[in-house]
Amino acid sequence: MGKSTKILSFVLATVIACTGLTACSGTSKSTGSGTAASQESTKSRAQDTLIYAQGADPRGLDPALVDDGESAKIMVNIYEGLLKYDKDSTKVGPALAESWDVSKDGLTYTFHLRKGVKFQDGTDFNADAVKFNIDRQLAPKVTEDMGYASFVYGSVKDVEVVDANTVKINMKSASTPFLNNLAMSLGAPIISPKALKDNNNNVNEHPCGTGPYKFVSWTKSQNVVLVRNDEYWGTKALTKNVIFKFITDNSARVVALSNGEADVIDGIDATVVKQIEGAGNKIYEAPGMNINYMAYNTTKTPFNDAKVRTALSQAINVPELVKSLYQGYADPATSVMPSFMPGYDASIKQVAFDQAAAKAALSAAGVKTVHVITYTNPRPYNTANGQALAEAIQGYLRNAGVEATIDAYDWTTYKQKVKAGDYDICFYGWTGDNGDPDNFMNLMADKDPTMNVARYSNDQYKALITKGVETPAGDERNKIYTDLEKMAAENAVWLPISHGKTLCGYRSNVKDFYYHMTGVVFLSGVSKS
C-alpha cells in the first residue's frame, strides 16, 4: 500500500469510528484488505468523504467568539443565520427566516421564522433562540472577545419575541447594512441555546447549529470532522463526511492534492498552478472581495505621526512588489475597498513610491529600525503568505535606510500578538463579509484591536462611519465612503497592497465546488464521482 493510500485509509477509519459507521468501542475483526468486497467498500467510503485542506486550524467554532476565515469556512457548514447570500453575490435571501418586514423609519425589523427546524442537539429553533443569540452579543452580556458583535448588532436596541415563530428587532438608529449583516458567517449564525448553556457560553469546541453538517471531532493541528445532518430541514448534503484537514505548508497541500490525500485545497499561489493542472487537477479562480495591507501601529511613537507613516510607505514600490509576489493573480490596490464596491473612486491615490524622498524624510525623523510582526501561513487575500510579504517589504525599507526586524508566527499565535499590540508594523487583510463598503471602511473605526490593527482613532472618521451606516443606499451614501477612503489615504493609516484573486485546487472528480466571494465554502452541494 502506498503512502497516500495509507493516509487516506487512516483518515477514513477516523471518520468511520467517529460517526458511528462502526462500533466506537471494543474491537473489530479484520476481513482482510485484499478481497474485492473490501476494496469496493473502501472505494465507496472514499467517494462519500470530501477532504478539504487549508493552511491552519480554526481559532474556534463559536461564530460570536472568532473573527477569522479559517474558522468561518468550517462554521458555515454547521450553522445558519436568519438570512443567507445568493451563490454568486451578496444579495440576501431567506434562510432561518422565511420573510421579514421593515418599518418605514428603518427602526423595526420583524422576522417570520421557518417552522419545524431543530438544532443538531434535537432542541427547537424558534424566536426565543434568536433572542438568546442576539442578546448574548448586546450590552450588558456582550464580552470583549466578541469581535463581530458591534459589526452585526451595533445598531440594535433590543429584541422582542412576538410568538414562537416571530421575532422583532428594534434599532437604536437606522442601519443600511443590517440585512446584509444578518447573512454573515461571523456573529450572525444562530447557535443552540442549550449548547451555549451547557458549555458556559462558549461552543468553540462544541458547535451546534441547524446547518447541513454536524460536528464530530476536532484533532488540533490535524483535522475537523463533520458528518451529514440527516435531520436537516432543507436539501440534505450530497456527501456524507467532510474533513477539514490542516496542512500549513503550501507545497505540501499541493502534494496532498496530487496524491489524493485531499480533494480540495486552498491557499495556493501562482507558482503552483501549472503543477496542479499538470497532475490532472483543476483550478478554481474568481475575483476576490478582499484587501491585503500593511498597517502601522498609530499609537506608538513615531508612527503616531502621519508624516513618518507616509515616508515609510513611500519606500515601497507596491506595483513592482505585487507583480513579483503574485504573478498576475492579484492586482495592486489603489484603495482599501475593491473597485466594484459602492463608493470606490479611482481618483483616490495612495502614497506613491519615492525612495529618495522616503530616505530623506526617515533620516530626518531619526527612524532607523522598525519592529514587524507577520504570519507564516497563506491567507485568501495573500496567497504568498505573510512572511514572504514582510521579507519583500524589509528589502524596500533597507534601501531607504531602515532596518526591519521580523517576528513571524502561525496564524493562531499571530492573532494573539496583534491583540497585544507589540509592533510598529503588522500585516493583515480582509475578505468582505457582506458586500457593503462599511464592512471595509469600519475596520479603521472599530474598538477591537484585532479588527482595527492600526489602532487608529479619529473622531471625524468615526462620525462619518456612523453617518454612512444610517444613510440610505445611493449617491449620498457612496460619497461618504469615498470621503472615508480619502481620509485613510491622506493619513497613511494603511499601505494597501493588493486585491487577490481567489484560487483553489480540486481533483477532477469533484463536482460543483465553488468558493463564495465572502471567503467561505458551502460544501453541502459538492460531490465526488
Kindly state the cell numbers that stand for 25. Answer: 468501542
Mean pLDDT split into 10-residue runs, the chain, 529 residues? 43 45 33 48 71 96 95 98 96 97 97 98 98 98 94 96 98 96 97 98 98 98 98 98 95 96 93 95 93 98 98 98 94 93 93 98 98 93 93 98 97 94 97 94 94 97 96 96 97 97 95 95 97
Q: What angle do CA 358, 349, 351 make, to 5 degrees?
A: 15
Nearest to 346, CA basis, from 442, 489, 465: 489
Cα–Cα distance for residue pair 335/343, rounded to 1 Å: 10
Cα–Cα distance for residue pair 348/335, rounded to 1 Å: 7
Tell me: the pLDDT tens digits for 375-416?
A: 998 888 998 889 999 999 999 999 999 999 999 999 889 999
Kindly state the cell numbers that stand for 513. Answer: 465546488
Nearest to 148, CA basis, from 81, 54, 232, 227: 81
Strand 527-528 and strand 510-511: pairing? antiparallel
* Residue 336: its H or E element: none
User: Is the omega angle on the peptide bond into residue 58 within 30 degrees of 0, that is, cis?
Assistant: no
Contact 316, 324 (CB under 8 A): no
pLDDT at residue 40, as a whole number: 52
Half-sphere exposure of 82 (CA within 13 A, CB side): 28
pLDDT at residue 503, as a whole number: 92
User: What DSSP string runs through 129-165?
Assistant: HHHHHHHTTSTTT--TT-TTHHHHHTTEEEEEEEETT
| Phi, psi angle pair for 326, to nearest 5° | -110, -10
Strand 403-409 and strand 369-375: pairing? parallel
Amino acid symbol at 31: T
- Residue whose C-alpha cell is 492573532: 415
Cα–Cα distance for residue pair 308/493, rounded to 1 Å: 11
Cα–Cα distance for residue pair 65/76, rounded to 1 Å: 14
Cα–Cα distance for residue pair 397/103, rounded to 1 Å: 54
Lay out the sheet containing 213-219: strands in order across.
213-219, 223-228, 241-246, 49-54, 264-266, 502-506, 282-286
Nearest to 465, CA basis, from 489, 437, 490: 437
Cα–Cα distance for residue pair 503/462, rounded to 1 Å: 35
Q: Report the 3 state secondary structure along 237-294.
A: CCCCEEEEEECCCHHHHHHHHHHCCCCEEECCCHHHHHHHHHCCCEEEEECCCEEEEE
Contact 371, 425 (CB under 8 A): yes
Contact 272, 80 (CB under 8 A): no
Cα–Cα distance for residue pair 23/40, rounded to 1 Å: 20
Cα–Cα distance for residue pair 253/251, rounded to 1 Å: 5
pLDDT at residue 44, as a whole number: 58
Task: For residue 465, give Cα distances in angstroms to 88, 93, 267, 334, 461.
Answer: 28, 26, 32, 20, 6
Strand 223-228 and strand 166-171: pairing? unpaired
Tell me: the pLDDT tens digits for 228-248?
A: 999 999 999 999 999 999 999
Facing residues of 99 across strands?
Answer: 112
pLDDT at residue 3, as a whole number: 39
Cα–Cα distance for residue pair 114/181, rounded to 1 Å: 19
Contact 296, 496 (CB under 8 A): no
Facing residues of 246 across strands?
Answer: 54
Nearest to 429, CA basis, from 302, 261, 292: 292
